[in-house]
Amino acid sequence: MKIRHLIITMVLLSVVIVNFPRPQTVASQAPGRQAIKNRSPLSANAFALLPLTSIKPKGWLKQQLEIQANGLTGHLDEFWPDVGPNSGWLGGAGEPWERGPYYLDGLLPLAYLLDDPKLIAKARKWVDWTLDHQQLNGAIGPVAPANAGEKVRAGYDDWWPKFVMLKVLTQYHEATGDPRVISVMTRYFKHRLEEAAKRPLRDWGRQRWADELLSLLWLYNRTGDEKLFDLARVLGAQGRDWKAHFADFKFTEKVDAKKTVYTGQGGLSDLALGVHGVNNGMAIKTSVVWSQVSKDETDRRAIYQMLDVLDKYHGQPNGMFSADEHYAGLDPSQGVELCAVVESMFSLEQALAILGDPLLADRLEKISYNAQPATFSGDMWSHQYDQQPNQVLCSYEKRDWTSNGNESNLFGMDVNFGCCTANMHQGWPKFVSSLWMATADDGLVAVSYAPNEVNTTVKGNIPVSIVEETEYPFRDEIRFTVNPQRTSQFTLKLRIPAWAGNARLTVNGKAVSGVKAGTFHAIDRQWQKGDRVILKLPMEVRASRRQNNSVVVERGPLVYSLKIGEDWRRTQAKMKNPAIAPAVDWEIHPTSAWNYALALDPQKPAVEVIEKGIGKMPFSAEGAPIEIKVKGRRLPQWTLVNGSAGPLPVSPVTSKEPEETLTLIPYGSAKLRITAFPLLVK
């Protein structure tokens, strides 16, 4: 297989003229708010992402980004050496690989979304060093010391971390219009093509090649430089064929890492990388992104096969798939890695823009509003490496992970591996940046809902502002105020989630007909300043079925979990790094029972919904904005096994324990929780 890839690469490169032409167009110094669509010969996309800073958070969402800025993201470089001032990506002798670019990939959009001068200054020093230290041959990034050995030099020469820094540069250009970015990226891709045959993709870069392709296509859409397609085809030839991986999926059960993955090959075997959770999160977008070049309909549709397979064999109630570190099956006590969560979000955002499928947006919201906040403390000063949908104890001990370490479900600064410590920052900022997109007919589409204001242009290049006021996903009403610079005809599309069967829509108080769940509803009209649109998405409580016929309670985009009393205990025992307050490591022990079965009719769940105020930390147990009251009984036979809730009893179950009223709160607020419940006999 490797020989075949090398031959294909050599053939492709044999027809390449090494010298790239100069870019045909260069973006202006001033950043614009207009979406840039695909140039021919790329296939046309359903939607186009808006430039960074076109969408600004408001309300609880801005508050959440401020929590992030005041937590680890805003301060990590002050005490974690891997992204400190000695980083190789700042010209120092420190870590020269992925961690600096990973950190910046979240820090930079957060800084510009909040217009935070301190964070912008932090991000700018990384960007400026990269742009100002491009090598004569076009390479970017740290340079290996002259006396470096072969293994050390290979790390410096790895293409993978450059993929991440290229994504950073594209966001920085959108926010600032800095012309250096276009010049540096043009020279870099020329160098990249020249070296492609001698240094083909390997290891992580071979799995994650779509991340480089994204930046390459971003540059093409701004310069029209068709030589970039030569490199695109090389990436397609050298990168992993994820479409084939899922067309003939062989990993239908939890992976035994010792027997299946690492035997005789070590941690970087192609097999190990193919069943690795984060690689799969990144891979969700691969075939779809490639389809813009290939124009192959099977590439466009491959994402559905992938998601269906992951759901069937490894799906979890929070919208994710298990992988701790590798595919881990359906048991809700298996782990979901934080890196995989934020990368799956990014993949879905990219795929959604290309395909325009509202079901992808439903999944994006489910992950963003459940799996993402669940793995952070409410103040975002600590995070987990692995979260569990059924998580009843966070402690240092050996669990039934496929390969992760004893500290993987602790809340801390640098638990298990530091990749999540570096990479976790991109989730919220990139979600904000994808709330709105441009439509193919130069209108706008609201793909996900949260309080924000978008400023961009519509048909005829008319500036428009839309203010979105809402407490969604905790409340069901979304109010839009449309303010074009002058009266303008354009299409406004609003996503109607698949769960919203009774959605209602009004424009200036007049009801709109034809609103259908699972679609983007289009309103094409002459818009005037002050036009008001109100979307009501009634959130009926639903009960979905999971492993062993268990039941999961959902309402709107939120999944609900048992509220378990939380005793947070600071620990430094057996940790790799000394804790620095407030970035300390925590165990969480339960102070209330967790082993309950629900007395619930899944077809017509009778529950009480209590809406509370949205406080300073809605994604914490004490700050949860909604509670659901439901009846249940304890199951004494359901006990801890190796520090986790034991295997789910097969429903229906019986219990002689007294009936109790249980409190469920949003999954993202509950740091200890039961999410998949056994169901009592009626």
One-character DSSP codes across 187-219: HHHHHHHHHTTTS---HHHHH-HHHHHHHHHHH
- pLDDT (average), residues 18-43: 65
Would 603 be classed as within a structural domain?
Answer: yes
pTM for the structure as a whole: 0.95
Pairing, β 558-562 against β 510-511: unpaired
Place of tokens 């050390």: 152
Of 225, 246, 272, the position where a domain reaches its end is 225
Would 65 be classed as within a structural domain?
Answer: no
Q: Domain of residue 210: give its range.
A: 71-225
Strands (E), 338-451: 386-387, 436-439, 444-446
- Residues 605-651 pLDDT 10s: 999 999 999 999 999 999 999 999 999 999 999 999 999 999 999 99
Q: For residue 126, what are the CA distances in angstroms to 95, 165, 649?
A: 14, 10, 51
Taking the C-alpha atoms of residue 10 and residue 7, their distance in angstroms, rounded to an integer, is 5
Place of tokens 């994402």: 303
DSSP assignment, residue 371?
A: I
Would 359 be classed as within a structural domain?
Answer: no
Of 178, 204, 225, the position where a domain reaches its end is 225
Would 43 be classed as within a structural domain?
Answer: no
- Residues 343-374 pLDDT 10s: 999 999 999 999 999 999 999 999 999 999 99
Q: Do residues 497 and 517 lie in contact, with contact meaning Cβ atoms separated by under 8 Å?
A: yes
pLDDT score, position 152: 86
Name the pLDDT band for 25 (thresholds 50, 70, 90).
very low
Would 584 be classed as within a structural domain?
Answer: yes
pLDDT score, position 259: 77
pLDDT score, position 583: 82
pLDDT at 384 over 50: yes
Structural domain total, the chain: 2
Of 225, 248, 274, the position where a domain reaches its end is 225
- Residues 499-524 pLDDT 10s: 999 999 999 999 999 999 999 999 99
Would 195 be classed as within a structural domain?
Answer: yes
Torsion angle of C-alpha atoms 357, 358, 359, 365, degrees rounded to 10:
130
Would 264 be classed as within a structural domain?
Answer: no
Name the pLDDT band for 261 (thresholds 50, 70, 90).
confident
Taking the C-alpha atoms of residue 346 and residue 366, their distance in angstroms, rounded to an integer, is 13
Percent helix, strand, coil in the chain (nearest 5)? 35, 20, 45
pLDDT score, position 580: 67
**432: helix, coil or strand?**
helix
Would 395 be classed as within a structural domain?
Answer: no
- Residues 594-615 pLDDT 10s: 999 999 999 999 999 999 999 9
